[in-house]
Structure 1
Amino acid sequence: MDLLTQKRVLISSAGEDIYLFTLCNANGTEVCITNYGAIITAFRIRMRNGSVNDIVLGFDDVESYFSPAYLSAYPYLGAVIGRYGNRIGHGIFTLDGKTYELARNNANDHLHGGLEGFDKKIWRLTGSGSTPHAWVELSYSSPDGEEGYPGTLHTSIRFELNAANELSYAFTATCDAPTIVNLTHHSYFNLNGGRGTVADYKLQIAASYWLQQNDNFVTTGRLLPVADTPLDFRTPHRVGERWDPEHGYDQSFVLDEAVAVPAAVESEESGIRLEVYTTEPVVHLYTARWLGPLTGKGGQVYGSSSALCLETQKHPNAINVPHFPNTILRPGETYHTRTTYRVLEMPEK
């Protein structure tokens, strides 16, 4: 039976209630989500042998997401990213003839929604249930001018866990004035319960092209082939097989159309395979180069390459690249995307 539990765990400095929601299915899988930043704090998989493997990085308690140690490093562990994910060059764009200047929080560029993006907001509970599967819906209204963005944006995210060990999240957004939107989720996956690095994971990304970046990781507008480069994951291979171990990966891939599995990663050590399905055109691979050292769940120390992110999204910096697909949302339109994480336990060898 699929279940949903809700527990108040904290009161913010502004007096707002912070909750922890736990989605459960009949397999014993549990997903914990807090309405602070819509953070996925845990994704626990019950294995065939009865053991439990938590496959996302995070903390044992919600209070730790407010700690000075975490906020000073701030890797966006498991949080919703908005109003616009990834980087916008120079924190500036022009929409309908008017130029907007955004918060610059990554050198001279705008990253992941700004100084206080959706990841630092307390979201409102707007729905929950256990039929047909355990689900919870959270909403946040971003006012006109927040972080420099035009228009009020009303956003909701619905998380759902089904009996097939599929965790889905679906974004919906509307606005009262033209704006730009690119929402994603920033979970850090470590399929070995937070232990070790991802170097030996086997990764597949069904993408023939990646988006060129400048030295500050801002997309330039050029699509480059992955063939004959370390970015070619069309055939699964070890994450660390071709990388520069000091830098790892921090690139956006344009997914090929009509593929069976857009992205997948697996660990031989744990026997877990994670498949990613999405309506989005791009997945950003990040192997946590800038992470840590940070002490997380169970005293595990997280550092560079301790996890990887597969951030499904629209084209970064698209508003400044005319030939990129449109990321403008206008009044009367509805933004909608969906991403699913499917977790499988591989057959024993």
Structure 2
Amino acid sequence: MKLFGLFSNGDIVNSYELSNQNGMQLKIVNFGATITALKIPLKNGKVVDVVLGFDNLDAYVKSFYLESAPYFGATVGRFAGRINNGTFCLNEKKFDLNSNNNNHSLHGGNIGFSQKIWKVKKVNREKNPSITLTHLSPNGDENYPGDLSVELTYTLTEENELIIDYKATSTHDTIVNLTHHSYFNLDGHNLDVLEQDLEVNSQKMLETTNENIPTGKYLNLKDHPFNFNTPKKCPAKIDNTFILENEKEHAASLFSTKNNLKMLVYTNQPAVHIYVGGNCFNKIKGKENSDYHPISGICFETQNFPDAPNHDYFPSSILKKGSEYCHKTIYKFQSY
């Protein structure tokens, strides 16, 4: 554990480091339960940091005031993606959330889980090292109902997997949709992703409006330019939700021919939202004095459908009082 930064009110943010026996290394800070670095050993003996991030707390805080906050490596909640007009109904009651994206609520509202200081519950440095963090979101936080207790565990396995386990319970019926927001770049965090091969195991994606709100329709990907069932180069622009129908298969993969490195994404969630970005608008420097731009990284946001509470036939995002939200995602790395 190392000091990562201090807030003016005295709140402390620490950095934690985990390493497996192969030399894979993960760095996390408890501000936003954020991954700041993920270093993967290659067959040629080199090590590559495959996620975008910043070197200091001040940069992470300032990044939320950019014209488009990047959410580098953060845990997103209470609700990943957009909620149309920031409103939903639950148990015949209407809830008006804080809107922070046009008139919509995005990634939890004005101050979501990505900007909270999480508590570190335990750190395991044995085989398959892990760290568990917790956060209590009080009833009325961003106008969501219920005290929501969240527990998040990051695990590094000896098979070079990063496993993310989320669990949550609430004192009232509520909605929840958590995700992880790392921007991956298998060539290295200071390059671009356009030469990497993207594969997505999906036959359908959500149709959206020009403000990225789901219309309720599904788009067949058979002849669509975003059909990635056969790997294709990463697009320069993508911000779309792909529907997943086979939990046993990997949801998506990314491959770097430069580093002969592959990442496979597995999840028990019904969708993966894929987004290419990372732009810091020349206002904040990234790690190692990097200038991050609109094609710096690619996100694989495993989650429920955006705006799910407002579409009856979307998978339910309701967490009942007394029930447990369980979400598991695996990012598995293979070096050739």
Q: 2:66 — aligned with what?
A: 72
Paired residue type of 1:220:
T
Tell me if structure 2 keeps the 8 A contact 1:64–1:70.
no
Q: 2:328 — aligned with what?
A: 338
Q: 1:110 — aligned with what?
A: 105
1:231-310 map, 5 Å: 231-240=226-235, 245=236, 248-288=237-277, 292-293=281-282, 294-310=284-300
Paired residue type of 2:223:
D
190 and 152 in structure 1: CA distance in 2 versus 1, 3 angstrom threshold: same
CA distance in 2, matches of 1:146, 1:60: 29
Specify which of 168, 171, 174 is matched with residue 173 of structure 1: 168
Q: 2:18 — aligned with what?
A: 23
133 and 278 in structure 1: CA distance in 2 versus 1, 3 angstrom threshold: same
Work out the percentage of aligned pairs sharing the same amino acid.
36
Q: 1:3 — aligned with what?
A: none
Secondary structure of 2:297 counterpart = coil
Specify which of 152, 157, 166 is matched with residue 162 of structure 1: 157
Does 1:133 pair with 2:123?
no
- 1:7-27 alpha-carbon deviations (Å, 9 max, x no partner): 233232232221111010111
TM-score, with length taken from structure 1: 0.92
Count, aligned residues:
334
TM-score, with length taken from structure 2: 0.96
CA distance in 2, matches of 1:233, 1:173: 32
Tell me if structure 2 keeps the 8 A contact 1:84–1:183.
yes
Per the TM alignment, residue 298 of structure 1 is displaced from its structure 2 partner at its CA by 1.2
CA distance in 2, matches of 1:282, 1:150: 24
Q: Which consecutive aligned stretches of 4+ in structure 1 deviate over 4 angstroms post-superposition?
A: none
Per the TM alignment, residue 315 of structure 1 is displaced from its structure 2 partner at its CA by 1.2
Tell me if structure 2 keeps the 8 A contact 1:211–1:223.
yes
CA distance in 2, matches of 1:69, 1:211: 28
Paired residue type of 2:305:
H
Tell me if structure 1 keeps the 8 A contact 2:63–2:280.
no
Tell me if structure 2 keeps the 8 A contact 1:206–1:259.
no
Tell me if structure 2 keeps the 8 A contact 1:188–1:309.
yes
CA distance in 2, matches of 1:289, 1:14: 29
Question: Unaligned stretches of 5+ in structure 1?
Answer: 1-5
Secondary structure of 2:277 counterpart = coil
- 1:251-278 alpha-carbon deviations (Å, 9 max, x no partner): 0000132553221001111221111011
CA distance in 2, matches of 1:291, 1:298: 14
